[in-house]
Amino acid sequence: MSNDHYWRAISVESVSPVCFPSVALYLKSGGNYVLYKDPHRMFTDVDYRRLERSSTEFLYVRSGDMEAINEFMESSLAETLARDDLSGIAKGRTLYQTSLNCVIDMFESPESAANLQRCRKIVQHILNHVATDAPVLESLKTVIDHNFYIFAHAVQVAALSLLMHERLFELAPDEMNDVGVGSLMHDYGMTYITNELLDKNDALSEIEYHKVKQHTQKGYEHLKRSGNYSDIVLNIVRYHHERYDGNGYPTGIKGDEIPRSGQVTAICNVYSALIMNRPHRKAHSHADAIKIMHEESQKGAFNPELFNYFVQIANERNHA
Closest contact distance (angstroms) between CB of 272 and Fe ion is 10
The residue among 271, 10, 23 whose CA lies nearest residue 163 is: 271
Closest contact distance (angstroms) between CB of 318 and Fe ion is 23
Question: Strand, coil or helix: what is 156?
Answer: helix
Which of the ranges 153-161, 182-190, 298-306, 311-319 carries the binding residues for Fe ion, by CB under 5 A? 182-190
Closest contact distance (angstroms) between CB of 302 and Fe ion is 15
Size of the site for Fe ion (CB under 5 A): 1
Minimum CB distance to Fe ion smaller for 13 or for 187: 187
CA dihedral 98, 62, 147, 108 (to 10 degrees): -70
Pairing mode of beta strands 25-29, 7-11:
unpaired
**Nearest residue to Fe ion, by Cβ distance, number only:** 187
Closest contact distance (angstroms) between CB of 241 and Fe ion is 6
**Angle between the N-to-C axes of helices 149-168 and 88-108, in degrees from 0 to 180, rounded to the nearest 10:** 110
Which of the ranges 24-32, 90-98, 150-158, 185-193 carries the binding residues for Fe ion, by CB under 5 A? 185-193
Closest contact distance (angstroms) between CB of 285 and Fe ion is 22
Bond into 250 cis (ω within 30): yes
Region at 229 (left for phi over 0; alpha for psi -120 to 50; beta for the rest): beta
Pairing mode of beta strands 7-11, 32-37:
unpaired
Closest contact distance (angstroms) between CB of 150 and Fe ion is 9
Minimum CB distance to Fe ion smaller for 239 or for 307: 239
Q: How many CB atoms lie within 10 A of CB 142?
A: 21
Which of the ranges 4-12, 91-99, 186-194, 283-291 carries the binding residues for Fe ion, by CB under 5 A? 186-194
Spell out the residues 6+ positions from residue 127 whose beta carbon is closer than 8 angstroms to its own.
162, 166, 176, 177, 180
Which of the ranges 77-85, 92-100, 135-143, 183-191 carries the binding residues for Fe ion, by CB under 5 A? 183-191
Minimum CB distance to Fe ion smaller for 105 or for 187: 187
Minimum CB distance to Fe ion smaller for 47 or for 187: 187
Spell out the residues 6+ positions from residue 208 whose beta carbon is closer than 8 angstroms to its own.
197, 200
* One residue of 187, 243, 271, 302 binding Fe ion per CB under 5 A: 187
Contact flags string 142-181 toward Fe ion, x per CB under 5 A: ----------------------------------------
Question: 176: which DSSP letter?
Answer: H
The binding site for Fe ion (CB under 5 A) comprises 187
